[in-house]
Amino acid sequence: MSAITSALPLPASGRVPLTLRVFAALDRKAWIALGVFLALALVVVPVLHLALPPENAFHVSTYAITLIGKIMCYALVAVAMDLIWGYGGILSLGHGLFFALGGYAFGMYLMRQIGRDGSYGADLPDFMVFLDWKELPWFWLGSDSFGWAAFLVLAVPAIVAFVFGYFAFRSRIKGVYFSIITQALTYAAMLLFFRNETGFGGNNGFTDFKRILGYSITAPETRLVLFGLTAIALAATLVFSAWLVKSKFGRVLTAIRDAESRVMFIGYNPLWYKLSIWVISAVLCGIAGALYVPQVGIINPSEMSAANSIEIAIWVAVGGRGTLIGPVIGAFTVNLAKSWFTVSFPEYWLFFLGLLFIVVTLLLPQGLVGLWKKIMSKKQGAQA
């Protein structure tokens, strides 16, 4: 909460255009880091993937691109989680739901893009043919349009979050009670999506995608475009979030986290502040889900499982709450460890995850970012 070291000297008061304020939300180092990250994702990785032969040591494999692309989606979810948990003090254990809703909304479009190339060669998606449905359910109308799908990716998580959040926050449900209800919400949604009658492919969900906007979904170029878009989305989310938490809105939000009654008695209605950040967070998760599905090639109800949502909270805790960059680091650390573990010692992954959570909670309340800061300040102390 100390003084902001902005990238450019802004006047402390008076009229300052919004673009400059957004620019000032990150310090110079952060902008450089972001630039390097985008250069890597948009230029270096594509060149190394396309130009170098697979046997070259510097070749970036398709596996690596899919894995990193997937983790960037998770990192986006982690940043969204940090907004609501780290800054808003509201622990959601149901963020997997919003991620899945975004994924399903875009998955509907991908299912329609299969066209007649499915196993039944029918106009309807395979699972509907299998269920002997003769026509598309009403909520599939327009799902062949990319624009409509993109709209649903934003709108569905937003509406679900708004309705749920309005009643929860208006009833002043807080703390562990809120967490438990969100957990129940995602679990209920999972059971709903498991049913074939719900119309989203039951427990198999959506898979076997062929095309996106007419381009082959498995083509290296398509993969690289999706990879690049995910990197841009993650970078944009970080900039947007940094601006958000450094605005007065962000200060009110952390004030609600620390002393909600005081916030009310100085005239702010916490309901609308909580609801705003809750909906923003849900929409960001929806975007992440929509980017995830075409890269991973599948979406099914297990994305809504309780454990998935808890894992999101673990990424944030491991990286460091209330830091924005911490959750990105946490998402990468935990998921890289996961993909190594699940190959080398698959049966020990959950034990490791549990252990990690305990260690972080007990020894690193500020996460990896906090640890880093501690080391740096010790170093400075030693030099002084």
Partner 1 sequence: MNAQAALIDQPDGGDSATQLGHVVTGELDLSHGVALYLEDITVSFDGFRALNKLSLAIDAGELRCIIGPNGAGKTTMMDVITGKTRPDSGKAFFGQTIDLTRLTEPEIAHVGIGRKFQKPTIFEQHTAFENLELAMKTDKRVWKSLMAWLSGDDRDRIADTLKLIRLDGEADRPAGLLSHGQKQWLEIGMLLMQEPKLLLLDEPVAGMTDDETMRTAELFVSLAGKHSLVVVEHDMAFVEKLGGKVTVLHEGSVLAEGDLATVQNDQRVIEVYLGR
Q: How far is it, in rounded angstroms, from Cα 227 to Cα 296?
A: 11
Q: Check residue 19 for interaction with partner 1 (CB under 8 A).
A: no
Minimum CB distance to partner 1, residue 261 (Å): 7
Among 6, 21, 30, 202, binds partner 1 (CB under 8 A): 21
Among 232, 255, 364, 371, binds partner 1 (CB under 8 A): 255
Q: Could you tell me which stretch among 146-154, 257-265, 330-338, 373-381 binds partner 1 (CB under 8 A)?
A: 257-265
Amino acid at 218: T
Q: How far is it, in rounded angstroms, from Cα 35 to Cα 128?
A: 45
Minimum CB distance to partner 1, residue 153 (Å): 23
Minimum CB distance to partner 1, residue 249 (Å): 4
Token pair 């799902």: residue: 143
> Which residue, 11 or 346, is less far from partner 1 as judged by CB?
11
> Token pair of 55, please?
């046997």
> Which residue, 280 or 353, is less far from partner 1 as judged by CB?
280
Q: Check residue 134 for interaction with partner 1 (CB under 8 A).
A: no
Q: Could you tell me which stretch among 119-127, 217-225, 264-272, 373-381 binds partner 1 (CB under 8 A)?
A: 264-272
Q: Check residue 4 for interaction with partner 1 (CB under 8 A).
A: no
> Which residue, 192 or 264, is less far from partner 1 as judged by CB?
264
Q: Check residue 265 for interaction with partner 1 (CB under 8 A).
A: yes
Size of the site for partner 1 (CB under 8 A): 33
End-to-end CA distance of the chain: 24
Q: Check residue 251 for interaction with partner 1 (CB under 8 A).
A: yes
> Which residue, 131 or 236, is less far from partner 1 as judged by CB?
236
Q: How far is it, in rounded angstroms, from Cα 359 to Cα 370?
A: 14
- Which residues are bridge partners to 212 per DSSP? 215
> Token pair of 317, please?
């805790």
Three-state DSSP class for residue 207: strand
Question: Residue 115 contacts by C-beta under 8 Å, 6 or more apart in sequence?
Answer: 123, 210, 211
> Which residue, 251 or 373, is less far from partner 1 as judged by CB?
251
- Which residues are bridge partners to 207 per DSSP? 298
Three-state DSSP class for residue 117: helix
Amino acid at 181: I
Minimum CB distance to partner 1, residue 213 (Å): 34
Question: Residue 285 contacts by C-beta under 8 Å, 6 or more apart in sequence?
Answer: 76, 77, 80, 95, 98, 99, 102, 157
For residue 102, the tally of other CB atoms under 10 A from its CB is 30
> Which residue, 51 or 264, is less far from partner 1 as judged by CB?
264
> Which residue, 244 or 328, is less far from partner 1 as judged by CB?
244
Among 79, 244, 287, 368, binds partner 1 (CB under 8 A): 244
Among 8, 9, 15, 363, binds partner 1 (CB under 8 A): 15
Among 8, 12, 57, 362, binds partner 1 (CB under 8 A): 12
Q: Which of 364, 383, 369 is nearest to 331 (CA)?
A: 369
Minimum CB distance to partner 1, residue 244 (Å): 8
Q: How far is it, in rounded angstroms, from Cα 328 to Cα 321?
A: 11
Among 272, 340, 348, 351, binds partner 1 (CB under 8 A): 272
Three-state DSSP class for residue 56: coil
Q: Check residue 3 for interaction with partner 1 (CB under 8 A).
A: yes
Q: Check residue 162 for interaction with partner 1 (CB under 8 A).
A: no
| C-alpha radius of gyration, the chain, whole number | 22
Question: Residue 170 contacts by C-beta under 8 Å, 6 or more apart in sequence?
Answer: 271
Q: Check residue 269 for interaction with partner 1 (CB under 8 A).
A: yes
Q: How far is it, in rounded angstroms, from Cα 189 to Cα 115?
A: 28
Among 9, 14, 147, 381, binds partner 1 (CB under 8 A): 14
What residues line the site for partner 1 (CB under 8 A)? 1-3, 12-16, 18, 21, 244, 247-249, 251-252, 254-255, 258-259, 261-269, 271-273, 276
